[in-house]
């Protein structure tokens, strides 16, 4: 087979896969400790059309049967499902991928993790420049695995480097490509906006299905991103953690309240009843009930200190009792002014700026020198700040670590 024929065959494989799973547009991102089985079930109930598992470590998965059994929980109803691995060795990746191939629709390679742990472990976004290694991993899975291989990347600093990378992945046998429109350096304070323009160019350049990821809070954002990028699907992470019904299109009157949603989620955890799903419960409640817990700080502290799942399950009742104590009207007044989980960092930043401006008004300091803002800086956030979502690790997770 010539290389063009091979590429055509792998493009067909990509579209066959995409169509065989119902041409999903609404996709739940891989999220360490957060896209686990009960949360996937909840997301599916409210409109998610494809879910990814959290990232699993291919080497540990291939060597340690206990890790494998503990970390990969699924059921026959949990489909369509892509299992994600981080890896830096083709053979190890293949061994792990073969161990899950009968319970998923595709195996995804994480090429987007920007964290220090990925740098030290030599995986995720730190492999993006290692063209030969990536080609070897993708082509081996493409040739040897019973299900297709897909990739999730971050973009590179230049358009050319990004498009070359994407073409290389497609030509190596990647069936579906997910693109997070930020570079590896865009994390924490340096997060900045998601580049949907480059995602659109990738979609125009490639022939396989492309999924857009990054910076999506609402269903209106989902629709906007599908339109401006022309992508085949949209993957959501932080947005769905705060609102598991994001894809449902339910108006607030008909959508479950966060307290009802938390109860529903906890019931799903009880059904699965595994250690892994219970461990994920506390960080999920911090996000689903973010506004409630921001108003009722004593319940937030209580959840932070909950050591066992049974106590965690009492949190919705405790919230309702505390609302009664505070008085519904007063509670609602504060609640309405509280930012959502997704907008938490932006709101904090705005509050800090307002406090600084107020302090300056009350205590003006003499202006010594007028410094001009460098050109381009004003438009840094395109007029609209993105939330500072720290990938793989969130404020409530850090909070939990403090209290654990």
**Residues noted as catalytic:** 113
**Taking the complex as a whole, how short is the minimal distance between the CB of residue 241 and ligand FMN, in angstroms?**
7
* Conformational region of residue 73, where left means phi above 0, alpha means psi within -120 to 50, and beta covers everything else: beta
Query: By C-beta, is 304 or 335 nearer to ligand FMN?
Result: 304
Least distance to ligand FMN, CB of residue 160, Å: 23
The answer to the question of residue 183 lying near ligand FMN (CB under 6 A) is: no
Nearer to ligand FMN among residue 262 and residue 280 (C-beta)? 280
For ligand FMN (CB under 6 A), the number of binding residues is 25
Pick between residue 195 and residue 238 the one whose CB is nearest to ligand FMN: 238
Of 61-69, 233-241, 254-262, 313-321, the window that binds ligand FMN (rule: CB under 6 A) is 233-241
| Cβ nearer to ligand FMN, comparing 225 with 261 | 225
Residue choice 183, 237, 243, 277 for contact with ligand FMN (CB under 6 A): 237
Listed in sequence order, the residues at least 6 apart from 213 whose beta carbon sits closer than 8 Å to its beta carbon are 29, 152, 178, 179, 180, 181, 234, 235, 236, 237
Radius of gyration of the chain (CA): 22
Find residue 177's DSSP bridge partners. 151, 210
Question: 394, 402 in Cβ contact below 8 A?
Answer: no
By the rule CB under 6 A, 176 interacts with ligand FMN = no
How many helices (H) and strands (E) would you count in the chain?
21, 8
Among 7, 34, 92, 96, binds ligand FMN (CB under 6 A): 34
Rounded least distance, CB 22 to ligand FMN, Å: 21
192 conformational bin, left if phi > 0, alpha if psi -120 to 50, beta if neither: left
* Cis amide linkage into residue 80, ω under 30° from 0: yes
**Residue 244 lies near ligand FMN (rule: CB under 6 A):** no
β-bridge partners, 287 = none
Binding status of residue 10 toward ligand FMN by CB under 6 A: no
Secondary structure class of 386 (helix, strand, coil): coil
Q: Which residues would be at the binding site for ligand FMN (CB under 6 A)?
A: 29-32, 34, 54-55, 84, 110, 112-113, 152, 180, 213-216, 236-239, 389, 391-392, 394
């Amino acid at each position: 087979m010539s290389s063009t024929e091979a590429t055509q065959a792998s493009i067909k494989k990509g579209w066959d896969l995409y169509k065989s799973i119902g041409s999903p547009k609404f996709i739940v991102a891989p999220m360490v400790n957060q896209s686990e089985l009960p949360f996937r079930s909840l997301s599916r109930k409210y409109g998610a059309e494809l879910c990814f598992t959290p990232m699993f470590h291919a080497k540990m998965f291939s060597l340690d049967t206990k890790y494998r059994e503990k970390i990969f929980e699924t059921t026959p109803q949990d489909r369509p499902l892509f299992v994600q691995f981080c890896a830096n060795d083709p053979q190890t990746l293949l061994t792990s991928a073969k161990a899950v191939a009968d319970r998923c629709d595709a195996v995804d390679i994480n090429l987007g993790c920007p964290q220090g742990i990925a740098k030290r472990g030599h995986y995720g976004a730190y492999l993006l420049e290692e063209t030969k290694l990536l080609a070897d991993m993708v082509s081996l899975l493409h040739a040897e695995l019973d299900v297709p291989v897909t990739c999730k990347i971050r973009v590179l600093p230049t358009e050319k480097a990004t498009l070359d990378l994407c073409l290389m992945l497609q030509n190596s046998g990647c069936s579906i490509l997910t693109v997070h429109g930020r570079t590896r350096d865009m994390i924490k304070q340096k997060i900045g906006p998601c580049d949907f323009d480059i995602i659109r160019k990738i979609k125009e350049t490639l022939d396989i299905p492309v999924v857009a990821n990054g910076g999506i809070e609402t269903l209106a954002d989902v629709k906007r991103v599908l339109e401006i990028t022309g992508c085949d699907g949209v993957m959501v992470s932080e947005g769905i953690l705060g609102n598991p019904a994001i894809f449902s299109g339910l108006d607030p009157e008909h959508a479950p309240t966060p307290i009802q949603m938390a109860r529903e989620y906890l019931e799903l955890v009880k059904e699965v009843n595994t250690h892994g799903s219970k461990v994920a419960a506390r960080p999920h409640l911090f996000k689903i009930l973010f506004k409630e817990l921001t108003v009722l700080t004593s319940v937030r502290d209580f959840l932070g200190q909950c050591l066992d799942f049974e106590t965690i399950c009492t949190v919705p009742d405790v919230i309702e009792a505390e609302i009664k104590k505070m008085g519904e009207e007063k509670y609602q007044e504060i609640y309405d002014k509280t930012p959502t989980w997704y907008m938490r960092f932006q709101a904090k930043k705005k509050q800090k700026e307002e406090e600084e401006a107020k302090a300056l008004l009350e205590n003006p300091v003499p202006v010594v020198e007028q410094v001009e803002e460098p050109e381009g800086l004003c438009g840094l956030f395109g007029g609209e700040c993105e939330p500072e979502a720290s990938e793989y690790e969130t404020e409530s997770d850090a909070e939990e670590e403090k209290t654990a």
